Structure 1
Amino acid sequence: MLRLFAPWIAPIIGLGFVLALAFAFFTPRDPVTMLPSVSVARGGFHEEPRDIHYSFAGPFGRYDNRQLQRGFQVYKEVCSACHSMRLVAFRDLEQIGFSKPEVKAIAKNWAVETPSINPDTGEPATRKPLPSDTIPPPYPNETAARAANNNALPPDMSLLAKAREGGPAYIASLVTGYAAVPAAMHRKFPDFQVPAGLHYNPYFANLTIAMPPPLAADGQVSYSDGTKASKEQMAEDVSAFLMWAAEPKLDNRKRTGVAVVLYLLIATGLAYAAYRNIWAGKKH
């Protein structure tokens, strides 16, 4: 009996594998559906990120160093109280227009000191950060971070702009998107309640987020270049800075891409000219 069905075993297994792949490919895999309040979010109250134009958008876009410096100021004065940037060193800030003395002063005056070891006793100690140090986290460990944030863990911001769908536009929309629960939601979902310690935000996946509104009012940061610090301006600036932190080589990559395209166009033209010259006057 086994010999009778043996020729069909491999095709059946292969067909099952193909069907599994097809099911995985065509079935929507949305992590939002695994979160609470999905029925509410899918009820039309979840909003997509705002359409924001950034200077680095498009194939020829470039980072605006003045905006990146303003964004760093927002991160330093607002976001760094809860969020770390473990992959960014102070000396990296030279790439966005800060001078070496400015970077040295930023590191020296940072609110949190860098963990170190006392060379005399071998005991744990702290010291003022150096330009070569990465930005120190605001909390010594995850337990302390959760204890200070209602058991929520603030994510590291080093790669946040690349890790979130919607990128910097999502971040800018999220930090300015806090609002009261719409009356229409109460009518459509009478049982919906914002849990204690959370906040309603239509840009977040399940509409409720543990982070309090970070940008509470216009003028929360005083820009050194005189730019008016509206909530929208601060949100766009800090999201642009986080995009640079996640992809600092973006400008170089685009310049390289343009150079490669131009090279290929020229090479194609020369190859075509050589082809016409070699085969000129010859019958096919």
Structure 2
Amino acid sequence: MMKKLTLSALTALGLSAGAAMAAGDAAHIHDVDFSFEGPFGTYDQMQLQRGLQLYTEVCAGCHGLQYVSIRTLADKGGPMLPEDQVRAYATAFPVNDEAANMHLYDYDEGAARTLTSNDHFPANHSQNAPDLSMMAKARAAFHGPYGTGINQFLKGTGGPEYIVGLLTGYTGEEKEEAGKIYYENTAFPGGWIAMAPPLYGEDVEFADGHSNELHHEAEDIAAFLMWAAEPKLEARKHAGFLAVVFLIVLTSLLYLSNKKLWAPHKGKKFNL
């Protein structure tokens, strides 16, 4: 029986390793040292603001963020924009897909109303492109399903790394199939993607003077999309840390109480 169990376990490990190697061959993604990784990691406020600028000026033309509320741009742990800037940002943001945002309309006047900070980012299906609200959590890289639990706890699922790899993985090669152009990408499963390179480097000018080289822009937008997918990351880590401290203290008190209660009776023999 033990021999069969051992053989089964080895087979399962072999299959998992093979699958992981196959996944690694299909997509080349490198690790990125993001500030929010690890149990005590936090978002870089300036990086999130740069990512917001990249999303607004580059990505919003094709992709929406329909599950993200605009007012969260002012929240602690996020881009932390001043309230007046958030309100101004909401009024200037275009409604890209009217059919998908019927809740943004005033039926009495029959015209689109101006967005407010209480609204969500508008959806955008004009290019049949996926919404980016949960992209950083939906796509896992090398820390994903083949990683161990402790690795995912320390480094996450690798979604931001996948985004960086995708944005920097274009080789410049193109092919046409069924009248559609595909672009070679070393990070995309299968190697070919229908999305043209969205970033080339020096796409925007950052107010803080940060480098706008391609890999820096990719890291900034990946960090912003990670925040969009998990805006309460810092609060969750803080709550988890307090919970662990509470459990340690409680365990210590229970141990000491148990020791004190039973110490007088230790070693005594009782007649039953």
How high is the TM-score relative to the length of structure 1? 0.72
The answer for the alignment partner of 1:37 in structure 2 is: none
Q: 2:53, 2:23 → 1: CA distance?
A: 38
Q: Following TM superposition, by how much is the alpha carbon of 1:90 offset from its aligned partner in structure 2, in angstroms?
A: 1.1
The 1:224/1:93 distance shift into structure 2, 3 A limit, reads: same
Q: Report if the CA contact (8 A) 2:27-2:189 is conserved.
A: no
Matched, 1:276 2:259: yes
Q: Relative to 1, partners in 2 of residues 1:276 and 1:45: Cα closer, same or farther, differing over 3 Å?
A: closer
| Residue 260 (structure 1) aligns with | 243
Q: Secondary structure at the match of 1:222?
A: coil
Match 2:119 to one of 123, 126, 133 = 133
Structure 1 CA distance for aligned equivalents of residues 217 and 23 of structure 2: 31
- Does the 8 Å contact 1:157/1:242 carry over to 2? yes
Match of 1:109 in 2: 92
- What is the CA deviation profile of residues 136-170 of structure 1, one whole-angstrom value per residue up to 9, with x for unaligned ones? 1345xxxxx2xxx4xxx210000111111221110
The superposition leaves residues 54-98 of structure 1 with CA deviations (integer Å, 9 ceiling, x where unpaired) of 111111111112111111111111110000111012111112211
* Larger-gyration structure (1/2): 1
The match for 2:166 is 174
Q: How many residues align?
A: 226
Is the 1:107–1:129 Cα contact (8 Å) retained in structure 2? Answer: yes
Distance (Å, rounded) in 1 between the aligned partners of 2:204 and 2:88: 19
Give the 3 Å change call, closer, same or farther, for CA 178–75 of structure 1 in structure 2. same
Among all aligned residue pairs of Structure 1 and Structure 2, give the percentage whose two residues are the same amino acid: 37
Cα distance, 1:283–1:92 mapped onto 2, change above 3 Å = closer
For 1:159 and 1:176, the matched residues in 2 are separated by: 20
Aligned to 2:231: 248
**2:191 counterpart of 1:207:** yes
What is aligned with 1:6?
none
> Gaps (5+ residues) in structure 2?
1-11, 142-158, 268-272
Question: 1:138 & 1:207 partners in 2: Cα distance?
Answer: 26
Name which of 62, 83, 88 aligns with 1:82. 62
- Is the CA contact 2:63–2:132 (under 8 Å) kept in the aligned structure 1? yes
Distance 1:219 1:193 in 2: 26
Which one of 144, 152, 163 corresponds to residue 138 of structure 2? 163
- For 1:266, what is the secondary structure of its paired residue? helix
**Which 5+ residue runs of structure 1 have no aligned equivalent?**
1-24, 33-40, 140-144, 182-191
246 and 281 in structure 1: CA distance in 2 versus 1, 3 angstrom threshold: same
Q: Distance in 2 between matches of 1:89 and 1:99?
A: 15
